[in-house]
Structure 1
Amino acid sequence: MRENSGKLIIELFLLWPELLVEPITYCYGEIGCIVIDDSWYDPVHRPINQEPLPREKINTRFILHTRQRPTQDTMLYANDLDSIRYSTFDPTKPTQFLVHGFIDDGTVRWMKRLTENLLSHGDYNVIIVNWGGGSLPMYSQATANTRVVGLEIAYMVNTMITHFGVDPGMVHLLGHSLGAHTVGYAGEGIEGLGRITGLDPAEPYFAEMPSHVRLDPTDAKFVDAIHTDTRTILLLGYGMLEPVGHLDFYPNGGRDQPGCDPVNIPLDMITEDMVTGGRELVACNHLRCIEFFIDSLVPGYNYVGYECIDNDAFHRGECHSCGADNLNCAKFGMDAALYPTRDRTYVHLLFDTGKDVPYIKYHYSIKVNLAYPPEAEAFVYGTMRISLYGTLGQLIDLTIAENSQQFVHGADTFLMFIDSFNVGNIQRVELYWKYDGTIFNTCGLFCNDHIYVRSVEISELNNYPESSRLEHTYKSCVVGADYVDMKDKSWAEFYPTACV
């Protein structure tokens, strides 16, 4: 049933929202009702609020996959308890709901791949939510339909709680794009919902709107999100820059993902997953969040995001510790829930990826400790390169300070480099120094261009928690001396065994 409905009221609502006296309510039988009031309208950010399509037209379906039947589609119906009771659904196991976004449906290949990888990762009930009947119209209509899909998901989860004893804390809703806000609406109707993951939540009609209009941290006990396409929609960006969760991950700064330049997209990717090849070209950044999440499910692929003010500061090495309380970093992926508190929200976390599968990159923090002998300048400017030799291999002649920067004698300087290779336990470090005698220095020809290095400490940032990062931190010193005097354009060696 509907109250105060009709096209005239809708048109008045769209054209003259100040004339709206009472909210408009739409009800959908046993799944409940939605309300549209003036808080859902904004002349710039949300200019259209349509009536959702009929429930039958949206045709939300729930398809179960388990380890017992990983490839078989088993349909579940909230109003048919036997469809759940006699399936392989196990109410004692964690349950993952996967929700697609605009234009997609439940048969899109990324949902099948994510299902396969989730079942390899853990013994879950994985339920694909197919609302393809409501995702294919115009975007404004699909946006309206998400609220009905949210009611459908909440009704299914609550049915499982009431009739099968499911612990809502063991239910995890994952949604991509429009699906991210859809699971937010679902979470509003599920008491004690454990977790929501937003995969690049959609920007249009949601950015700059009140929190109840979009995904937000109150929608579940724990909400995390990954942002990979945060250019404004005016620049063909589909995802939100605005944080929406307890934890918000911004890989590669959240904007342009490596490998998403059209010239770098393989032909098989263009035709494999998408409705059209053109969609892959324009939505690569928006879809890359799914690839990162799938990648993170592989054993040993530890993505760790670090809290940092911005991407430039992160690459300067300014954000390299989880802190004693492990609040300054978090694992990305399923283990993000290990974050030790729910008191903080909108924690801005950064990490980098590569452009090819596997996307994981190894992040190395470098602490260069300088001595301050009498002949040294108080500070010098220059650049550095490094070579690492470890138990798993070596990385040779990598730039760690490409642009000239200040090194203060008697203090520590933090740097960073990122590579696809993990060298293992570090056994030797080589450091290269190149002095910069340009306008940064005021002492001209009489400057001492040497740098005096006491030790080099390498920390592998792909380790969580802080205790694990410290276990994978290797300090190397110069042999037979307190420090090494490095002249301009010279290399020096450092060994862990030389540190006292």
Structure 2
Amino acid sequence: MHSMHMHQCYYEACNADPDCLQYCPIIPLHGRSVETNLEKTKWTDVEFKLFTSSNIDSATDFNYNFQFEDLQHSEFVETAKVKFIIHGFFTAYSENNWLGSMKNKLIKDKPFNYNVFVVNWPKFAITLNYLAAKHDTETVGNALAEFIFKLCNFSSLKSSDIHLIGHSLGAHIAGFAGNALKKKGLIIGRITGLDPAGPLFKYDDGTRRLDRFDAAYVENLHTGIGDFIGNGYGFAKPLGDIDFFINGGFAQPDCSLWNLPRNILKYGWVEGFANTYACNHMFAYVLMLEDTEQFSENCQLVGFQCNNYRDYRGGKCNDCGSNGKACAVISLFGEDDRNSGQGYVEPQSSYASIKVYLDTLKKPPYCAQNYAIEIKLAKNSEVPNGKFELTLEGTYFGSARKFVINKDFSIEQDDRKFSCLVQLDKNLGKVTKATIRLYYGIYDLAVFFSKPKIIIDHLNVKYLSNIDKRIRNAWSASMCAEESKTNELINFVPCTYER
């Protein structure tokens, strides 16, 4: 270990030296100020596996009662930040599962930036008794808090440079650890909950599960909300400063019970059932593991604050607000990149959780080029019904792009406006032309005899898939209608003035 030093008060001497008690980790449990022997006995069953750029393939194992010398002789880099990865129910660390993949991504994408600890607790997690595993999340959380407290006291590591990443029950373990450390005066910098577990946590207060006060910044990805088998395993309500509801929080790509036979053939019986029935729940870490280098043309996973998923799908939530806080981007490296995880860089001041929504593509890479389309009718226009076909043309660095979108007209009578969310697999680029073609069904007899007079004031195309306002503005356009001899085909060109 590099440039390690030791505090004047040794951990082992704290019980004998009253002046040293401020450094002695006493983690409260249910109002008690000292841990029981049974609790500490269980702590020894929690492993903390250290990986760095120097030992990416072979872990150095610790437990909660490690000594200064253990850290000193390890690969721990005192100048690097620390990330903890915490698994959930019926899981354990393996180089071949998502824990190994995330460890590798953190170290390989940002060499020498992080010490990565995998919190491995299979003795409690691998059981058919979910109630017991749920109960033990507090035990594991307190063991983690003890470990972090000693880590900070044995090194120059600041708690603000610690990021806890937990999936399912692991998210609540992160919450228990953060809450316990807060009582010792240490505030964890960031917690990321990957679809925090919902079953049996629904009626618990914030001290009995993850909540937004467990770290300086708490974010969550909701992908499989529900109460148990059949309708999801994830917590349905916001738990953090920012809560991402991915594809509404419940319907993820290629997650269907009809996939069970295919998954059994591919993974075997146990993993086949898990990959089928927990598919939505698992998508949280699948999305976090996406290789952003494969995202096309400046695409980022940006969520927008919205009252509900219906409004988001309707294209009504398409602005980051004057202070930029009405949207956020998903990133493992938010604390290092100004353009990602901006809520972490500039913590929210509001006491209310912010719900943001984000839709993905149906297959990897999942980052969609999302656009909000707005069609504004003129005051003297009749209200259309039926369907329309929107053709958008643009150029992306010299490459011509053309996309055709079909939608049902549904005009809001109060503001005479139609809006929707459109997903593309490529960036449209600078919009140069648009065409709207109106058409009606064979049963629209009234339209057959007298077609409504449609006058469109303007068409707005707003690009949503980047946190940088300059990029969003560059790929957005306000389009004005050209004179048209037919009521069914309307051409648009960029407006010469701002709408």
Structure 1 length-normalised TM: 0.80
- The residue identity in structure 1 corresponding to 2:82 is T
Shift of 1:328: 1.8
Instruction: State the shift of 1:438 in Å.
Output: 8.5
In the other structure, the counterpart of 2:80 is: 93
Distance 2:421 2:237 in 1: 27
Return the match for 2:342 from 324, 338, 348. Answer: 338
CA deviation profile, 1:412-445 (whole Å, cap 9, x unmatched): 5432211222222323322222368989x9x988
Residue deviations 1:306-330 (CA, integer Å, cap 9, x gap) = 1112211111111111111223211
Give the AA of the match of 2:117.
I
Whether 1:151 and 2:157 are equivalent positions in the alignment is: no
1:326-350: CA deviation from partner (whole Å, max 9, x where unpaired): 2321112333631244223321111
Q: What is the deviation of 1:352?
A: 0.8
- How far does residue 67 in structure 1 lie from its aligned partner after superposition? 2.5
- 2:479 is matched with 476
> Shift of residue 201 of structure 1?
0.7
Q: Give the secondary-structure state (helix, strand or coil) at the position aligned to 2:278.
A: helix
Q: Does 1:450 align with 2:449?
A: no
1:381-429 Cα shifts (integer Å, max 9, x gaps): 3432222223255343212x33x31277996543221122222232332
Match of 1:60 among 18, 43, 46: 46
Look up the SS of the partner of 1:111 in the other structure.
helix
- In the alignment, structure 1 residue 365 sits paired with structure 2 residue 365: no
Q: CA deviation at 1:358?
A: 1.3
Q: Does the 8 Å contact 1:386/1:397 carry over to 2?
A: yes
- Number of positions where the alignment pairs a residue of Structure 1 with one of Structure 2: 447
State the distance in 1 between where 2:149 and 2:412 align. 59
Moved more, 140-149 or 174-183: 140-149
Cα distance change on mapping 1:355 and 1:444 into 2, 3 Å: closer
Cα offset for 1:34?
2.0
Work out whether 1:141 is the aligned partner of 2:132. Answer: yes
Report the TM-score, using the length of structure 2 for normalisation. 0.80
Match of 1:434 among 427, 439, 443: 439
SS in 1 for 2:239: coil
**Structure 2 unaligned blocks of 5 or more:** 1-23, 335-339
- How far is 1:296 from its partner? 6.5
Q: Does the alignment pair 1:388 with 2:392?
A: yes
| SS of the residue 2:132 aligns to | helix
Distance across 1 between alignment mates of 2:496 and 2:264: 50
Is 1:487 paired with 2:484? no
Question: Which residue of structure 1 aligns with residue 91 of structure 2?
Answer: 104
Task: Render the CA deviation track for 1:342-374: whole Å, top value 9, x for unaligned.
Answer: 22332111111123221221211112244445x
Distance 1:371 1:30, change over 3 A: closer
- Unmatched segments (≥5 aa) in structure 1: 1-28, 38-50
Give the whole-Å Cα distance in 2 for the aligned partners of 1:146 and 1:94.
25
Listed one character per residue, the Cα deviations across residues 119-151 of structure 1 (whole Å, up to 9, x for unaligned) are 233222211111111111321111122112111
Matching of residues 148-227 of structure 1 within 5 Å: 148-190=139-181, 191-227=186-222
Q: Which residue is 1:323 aligned to? A: 321
Q: C-alpha distance in 2, partners of 1:163/1:270?
A: 49
Q: 1:405 aligns with which of 407, 410, 419?
A: 410
The CA RMSD over aligned residues, in Å, is 3.2
Q: Secondary structure at the match of 1:235?
A: coil
* C-alpha deviation, 1:236, in angstroms: 4.4
Match of 2:153, as an amino acid? Answer: T
- CA distance 1:412–1:267, change in 2 (3 Å): same
Q: Which residue of 2 aligns with 1:23?
A: none
3-state secondary structure, aligned to 1:258? coil
Does structure 2 conserve the Cα–Cα contact (< 8 Å) formed by 1:316 and 1:415?
Answer: yes
Partner secondary structure for residue 213 of structure 2:
helix
SS in 1 for 2:411: strand
Whole-Å separation in 2 of the counterparts to 1:102 and 1:194: 25
Alignment correspondent of 2:106: 118
Once the two structures are TM-superposed, the CA of residue 250 in structure 1 deviates from its matched residue by: 0.8
**Counterpart residue number, 1:496:** 494
